[in-house]
Amino acid sequence: MKSNPDPVILKWIRELETVRLDCASPGEMRVGLKAGFNPSEFLYANTMKAKADLQDAIMIGASVTTTDSVEGVEQIAETYKDIGFSNSMKVIIRLAVDDSQSRSPFSLKYGATDGDWWPILKALDQHKIPFAGLSFHVGSASANPEAFTKAIRLCREFQQEMKRQVPIVDIGGGFLPDAKSFASTAASIRHEIERWDQEESFSPSLWIAEPGRFFSAPTQTLSVPIVFKKSSHDRVRYVLDESVYGQFSSIIFDHAQPPWTVYRNGDRITEQTAKKAFFFGRTCDSLDLIAIQDKAPEYEVGDEFVFPWMGAYTSASATTFNGFARPKKIYLEGEEVTSTFDAEVPDPSVTYPIETKSSVSLSLQPSLSYRLS
């Protein structure tokens, strides 16, 4: 849902029957309802939510949510009291895990450390809110299979130290969409699950994963032309008919490095020149820089840039800044639909703005700083 809430994609996923939805808000739940999902198929996986949103989710029919704090438990109890309902919400505790090798870590914002475990359980017991299990997230686009195994071991430690059976474990997402990485990560996870089954008297009866990127990344290919070209003696500036405010928002928010293939009249362009090329987005913002390529081919207005694997965290966070419309979507379905693009590995001569990180503090108050990366 989060990676791509496209209603057609959700409809396809719904037809798999075994898939449920991880939702961050009542708004996402309503999108899921329109796609044919039932409220019982939603996991309200947002540990820091507004009370009004929690109440809305309860009215929709969500019955399982996550928390990582005593405050979150108190919020659930107070919300049910305010609306005059008896509690029907089960709680999954989200644990803080090592996400240091992920593209987008979450531990700064989410996760209960071992010192938080007992107070949260105590609060659940006090308010008679059922404990449903544990969850974690090793960070978005994690490249380390060991991150998952260490996190599963931490869940086992929770069960041992808290002396609480863990019926459900949600291992989160962060899976890379390429087959080799996924197979390696899946094998590590499966091995650790089997160890738990064999070595503990009680093991989880339900394992949940959130492979949003894995499902959505291959579903979209973006095709955009060059709409303007400006040359100088040592460089060329191109404007693509998209922007980092649109489908390339993943470069900023998801640290994506989208590879491309370029075509002119149906033929692939590969010949390189000595000039450096800057590829800007179409907005008026000078920071709307998509990529920089050393020794780029000599492109022309109208050349078509094709970006495969553009389904995850692209259109989900795209805006219409400057009044530019979102691109037209063409849906293809069937066994005859296959990928014809081989630009799956970023060109080493291409750099992306997000790679050049800088930390700038704007001292509006002595105790405040704002990080611009």
Q: Which of 15-49 are b and which e, b meaning 16 or more Cβ less than 10 Å from the residue's Cβ?
A: eeeeebbbbebbebbebbbebebebebbbbbbbeb
Lateral strand order in the sheet of 235-240: 267-268, 261-264, 304-307, 222-231, 235-240, 276-280, 289-293, 350-351
- Active-site choice (16, 274, 284, 368): 284
For 115, phi and psi rounded to 5 degrees?
Answer: -70, -15
* Cβ–Cβ < 8 Å for 271, 297: yes
Q: For residue 363, count other CB atoms closer than 10 A to its CB.
A: 9
Q: CA 299, CA 271: separation in Å to the nearest integer?
A: 10
CA-CA distances (angstroms) from residue 348 to 291, 294, 364? 12, 9, 39
Is 23 among the catalytic positions? no
In order, the DSSP letters of 159-184 are HHHHT----EEE------SSHHHHHH
**Secondary structure element (H or E) that encloses residue 268, with its range:** strand 267-268
Q: CA 261, CA 77: separation in Å to the nearest integer?
A: 54
Q: Three-class SS of residue 130?
A: coil
- State how beta strands 131-135 and 350-351 pair: unpaired
Supply the residues annotated as catalytic.
284
